[in-house]
Amino acid sequence: MGEEQATYEELELESNRLARLLAEAGLRHGDRLCLALPKSVTAIVAMHATMKAGGVYVPIDIGSPAPRVAKILAAADPRIILTAAAAADLLDDLSKTGELSSPVAIGSVEGPLEREGWKSSFTCADVAAFSADHVPCSTGPDEAAHLLFTSGSTGTPKGVVITHANVLHFVDWATSYFETRDSDRISGHPPLHFDLSTFDIYATLSVGAELHLVPPALNLIPHKLAAFIRDNELTQWFSVPSIMTYMAKFDVIREGDFPALERILWCGEVLPTPILIHWMERLPHARFTNLYGPTEATIASSYYTVPDRPATETEPIPIGTPCAGEALLVLDDKLTPVETGEVGDLYIGGVGLSPGYWQDEEKTNAAFSSSPNGSERIYRTGDLAKTGDDGLVYFLGRADSQIKSRGYRIELGEIETALNAIDELRECAVVGIESGGFEGTAICCAFAPAAGSEVQPPDLRERLGVVLPTYMLPSKWLQLEVLPKNVNGKIDRKQLRELFEAEQAA
């Protein structure tokens, strides 16, 4: 990443040393270690060191507001937090809430850090004193490798447990299907707290290829993203569709561009067909594959490689067929398979399924159940789907209030929870509409101010930004005297979506 790089030998030796340092700092088998680190080669080393020490790593988005990170720390209950100067302000805010009190140890991957209220008890400069020999590890394949926290409808993020076996099953399938080899040069675009990065990291390293971490700052500069692919002669690009849409909208891809690029993969949301056509027309030498799957099913559960340029801009792109060891089930409300062409709820089963949510049996039991024949666990995705006459599965949208925006899975209820804490609002509701732009689904907030209040969207956005990450902030606002209600007296969200869609069309 940029000027920072590591060879496989350096990754092995440095992670061995760091694993021993972490053990001396108190990390024990099964303990959680939070990575409050910017995306970097050092963070990849720390992931490996944590697992070698028998720990479970928890990547943290250091750009998230402290109140949200505090909830993650409270749930993960880490033994150690590894951090850097880039996250010092975040740790300052956490210190004020008591989240950094003993027995949490703070380690710095740079030099010593000392601020008012907290300081690092060790630094990675200390690793030189530790042996670089192989670290014996007793961790089993069904034990947790990491926890990934996703948006929760109650306002509390949910920790998805991902095991070593979960990741390895997908990596084994993917490297075989995509014929990944040691001469590949592969992008590492997603942030490290996003599950798609798991594929980039471990699939690349499992075959001895080059992993090129994409600096986050490039996401706002489409021509520099194109230059990154071009200059690094990448053979594989994997990102959320919003990035591909962004690059297409700014027309930064030349005819016959990226001659080394063999594979373009996307996951996390729907890639608009016109955008796919844009890419395929300019890169006829590349193969395009749609991957689908929620965090609870580890990276992806199905795939579809597009055989030809779509004939029309309205042609739907299927999510395809299950990856090896996975299962896609389209069921009705009685968990009975629906007929071909009929709409049903999409469930996933197979080797990628997470054991559930970290220390939350109630949420786990609500999301995971037994298959129709009772032979295996299945997970309800909350998506609607159908099986076409071609035998492929087609995604049809969300069945609940969960959306995908900019590749992130977002519970609209978490945004509403934060809004409802603002005294100046009498009532509010958050809905999602298709934006037609790079973000995918636009987050829309309708609100009615409390009596005597003159609160405006810029103020609401600023207030929300204190407790929610940027990608969860509404981009469209509508002030009403009273929100529309249905016959049951509930807020009529369908009517609100229609209002926002009409405004967008106008």
Range name among 148-157, 323-332, 347-356 with the lowest pLDDT average:
148-157
Q: What is the pLDDT of residues 285-316, one digit of tens each?
A: 999 999 999 999 999 999 999 999 999 888 89
Give dist(CA 204, CA 198) in Å, integer: 10
Give dist(CA 232, CA 219) in Å, integer: 16
The band of 501, judged by pLDDT with boundaries at 50, 70 and 90, is very high
Beta carbons of 483 and 491 less than 8 angstroms apart? yes
Burial code of 393-432, b = ≥16 C-beta within 10 A, e = fewer?
Answer: bbbeebbebbbbbbbbbbbbbbbbbbbeebeebebbbbbb
Q: Which of 86, 92, 85, 53 is nearest to 70 (CA)?
A: 92
- Does residue 164 carry a pLDDT above 70? yes
Beta carbons of 186 and 236 less than 8 angstroms apart? yes
Contacting residues for 487 by C-beta, under 8 A, at least 6 apart? none
Beta-bridge mates of residue 431: 444
pLDDT at 209: 98
- Does residue 186 carry a pLDDT above 60? yes
Beta carbons of 25 and 107 less than 8 angstroms apart? yes
- Does residue 489 carry a pLDDT above 70? no
Give dist(CA 74, CA 489) in Å, integer: 36
Proportion of the chain above pLDDT 70, given as a percent: 98
**Would you tell me the crossing angle of helices 88-96 and 66-76 to the nearest 10 degrees?**
70
482 or 354, greater pLDDT: 354
Q: What is the rounded end-to-end Cα distance, in angstroms, of the chain?
A: 43
Give dist(CA 346, CA 505) in Å, integer: 31
Six-digit token pair at 283? 């890169």
Q: What is the pLDDT of residues 348-388, one digit of tens each?
A: 999 999 999 999 999 999 999 988 887 789 999 999 899 99
Which 8-state DSSP code applies to residue 73?
Answer: H
> How far does Cα 446 stand from its chain's mean position?
27
For 126-152, give the secondary structure using H, E and C: HHHHCCCCCCCCCCCCCCEEEEEEECC
Contacting residues for 506 by C-beta, under 8 A, at least 6 apart? none
pLDDT at 421: 80
- Does residue 153 carry a pLDDT above 70? no
Looking at residue 422, its amino acid is I
pTM over 0.85: yes
Beta carbons of 180 and 153 less than 8 angstroms apart? no
- Does residue 502 carry a pLDDT above 80? yes
Q: Which of 116, 104, 112 is nearest to 76 (CA)?
A: 104
Looking at residue 403, its amino acid is I
Beta carbons of 81 and 99 less than 8 angstroms apart? no
Beta carbons of 200 and 238 less than 8 angstroms apart? yes
Neighbours of 285 (CB within 10 A): 11
Give dist(CA 35, CA 235) in Å, integer: 29
The band of 154, judged by pLDDT with boundaries at 50, 70 and 90, is low
3-state secondary structure of 299: coil
H or E, element range at 24: helix 8-24
User: By CB neighbour count within 10 A (0-12 exposed, 13-18 middle, 19+ buried), where does 496 fall?
Assistant: buried
Q: What is the pLDDT of residues 37-84, one digit of tens each?
A: 999 999 999 999 999 999 999 999 999 999 999 999 999 999 999 999
Domains of the chain: 8-139 (3.40.50.980), 166-321+350-374 (3.40.50.12780), 402-505 (3.30.300.30)
Which 8-state DSSP code applies to residue 25?
Answer: T
CA dihedral of residues 494, 499, 505, 506 (deg, nearest 10): 170
Mean pLDDT (the chain) is 92
Q: Which of 155, 183, 174 is nearest to 75 (CA)?
A: 155
Contacting residues for 473 by C-beta, under 8 A, at least 6 apart? 443, 461, 464, 465
3-state secondary structure of 70: helix
Q: What is the pLDDT of residues 188-246, one digit of tens each?
A: 999 999 999 999 999 999 999 999 999 999 988 999 999 999 999 999 999 988 889 88
- Output the CA torsion sign for 30, 33, 39, 45: negative
Question: What average pLDDT score do residues 257-261 get?
Answer: 98
Beta carbons of 117 and 95 less than 8 angstroms apart? yes
For the chain, the 3-state helix, strand and coil shares in percent, each to the nearest 5, are 30, 25, 40
Helix count and strand count (H, E) for the chain: 13, 27
Which phi and psi (to 5°) does residue 441 adopt? -100, 125
Looking at residue 176, its amino acid is S
Range name among 63-72, 132-141, 146-155, 249-258 with the lowest pLDDT average:
146-155
